[in-house]
């Protein structure tokens, strides 16, 4: 059995002048070396080959399809940028296949979409070869894209471990519960933002100037037979009370309202009543 030497560190007591401290000490141990996992090494190499092939295919497809699209636009950069969508479409679907490799139901949609994008990519590459009078070259380029996709499918099938029916159902239920929690969290965030906006609008509306509340005297309706008083009156309370009496207003409350309207809005009721009695006596 093969071994290798590894350094380790431990704390050991060390005493000087009767005082003991724990100090680190380095030592070595011999640990067994596990045998090489050739399956993992081969699979890693296969993934590296597929990744390199994908890079070559992307460059080839982009070059061919970009040259094809450049015949219809004035700016070649736009054509080559659009050409990358053909290859990136089915490559993104391959990435989604990898994510859903343990779920045979969820993997069907990205795999089907990947085949559609791949067919469009291969057709565009063949079309470029036909227009460029090199149909054989176009077919070879299309085969490269199909071969890269096929290699990826083989590697993915090797990595995907099928689950039994009960385990798959348990995973689906657990995924649904977690997805429900995530959806509920996102919904609550939206509701909180909406509630905050509504509260802000209510505060803004409440901050607007409100009309001054009416006093009970203002809310009382004057009798229909009450004489109409002048809108602008004298400047003293006595003259205002005298004007009200001359207009036939003898009710103390009506006189008080008139004095507050034309003289002083804060006129005291007692002062107005005292003036009213004094003028009645002298009348």
Give domain limits for the chain.
3-32, 47-159, 225-282
Q: Are 118 and 138 in contact (CB under 8 A)?
A: no
pLDDT in the model for residue 219: 47
pLDDT in the model for residue 7: 93
Residue ranges in the chain assigned as alpha helix (H): 38-69, 76-99, 108-131, 135-159, 165-206, 216-219, 237-246, 252-262, 269-282
Handedness of CA 256, 260, 265, 268 (dihedral sign): negative
pLDDT in the model for residue 226: 47
**DSSP state letter for 207:** T
Separation CA 76–CA 20 (nearest Å)? 78
Strand partners, 30: 5
Q: Are 52 and 155 in contact (CB under 8 A)?
A: no
pLDDT in the model for residue 12: 93
pLDDT in the model for residue 178: 92
pLDDT in the model for residue 252: 81
Q: For the chain of 283 residues, list the mean pLDDT of each consecutive stretch of 10.
A: 89 92 93 85 86 86 87 84 86 87 85 90 89 86 87 81 83 89 90 86 67 50 50 65 76 80 77 77 68
Torsion angle, alpha carbons of 231, 232, 234, 235, to 10: 130
What residues contact 107, with CB distance under 8 A and at least 6 apart? 97, 100, 101, 160
pLDDT in the model for residue 224: 47
pLDDT in the model for residue 228: 53
Give the tokens for residue 257: 């309202």
pLDDT in the model for residue 74: 79
């Amino acid at each position: 059995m093969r071994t290798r030497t590894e350094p380790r560190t431990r704390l050991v007591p060390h005493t000087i002048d009767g005082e003991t401290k724990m100090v680190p000490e380095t030592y070595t141990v011999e640990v067994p070396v596990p045998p090489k996992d050739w399956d993992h090494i081969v699979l890693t190499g296969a993934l590296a080959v597929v990744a390199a092939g994908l890079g070559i295919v992307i460059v080839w497809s982009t070059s061919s399809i970009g040259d094809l699209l450049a015949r219809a636009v004035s700016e070649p950069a736009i054509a080559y940028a659009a050409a990358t969508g053909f290859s990136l479409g089915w490559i993104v679907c391959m990435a989604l296949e990898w994510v859903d490799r343990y779920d045979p139901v969820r993997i069907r949609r990205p795999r089907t979409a990947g085949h559609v994008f791949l067919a469009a990519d291969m057709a565009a590459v063949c079309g470029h070869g036909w227009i460029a009078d090199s149909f054989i070259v176009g077919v070879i380029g299309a085969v490269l894209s199909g071969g890269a996709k096929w290699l990826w499918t083989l590697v993915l099938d090797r990595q995907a471990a099928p689950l039994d029916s009960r385990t798959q159902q348990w995973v689906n239920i657990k995924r649904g519960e977690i997805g429900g929690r995530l959806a509920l969290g996102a919904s609550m965030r939206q509701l909180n933002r909406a509630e905050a906006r509504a509260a802000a609008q209510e505060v803004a509306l409440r901050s607007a100037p409100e009309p001054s509340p009416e006093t009970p005297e203002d809310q009382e309706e004057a009798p229909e037979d009450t004489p109409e008083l002048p809108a602008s009156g004298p400047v003293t309370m006595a003259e205002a009370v005298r004007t009200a009496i001359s207009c036939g207003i003898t009710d103390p409350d009506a006189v008080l309202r008139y004095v507050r309207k034309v003289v002083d809005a804060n006129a005291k009721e007692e002062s107005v009543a005292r003036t009213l009695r004094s003028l009645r006596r002298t009348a």
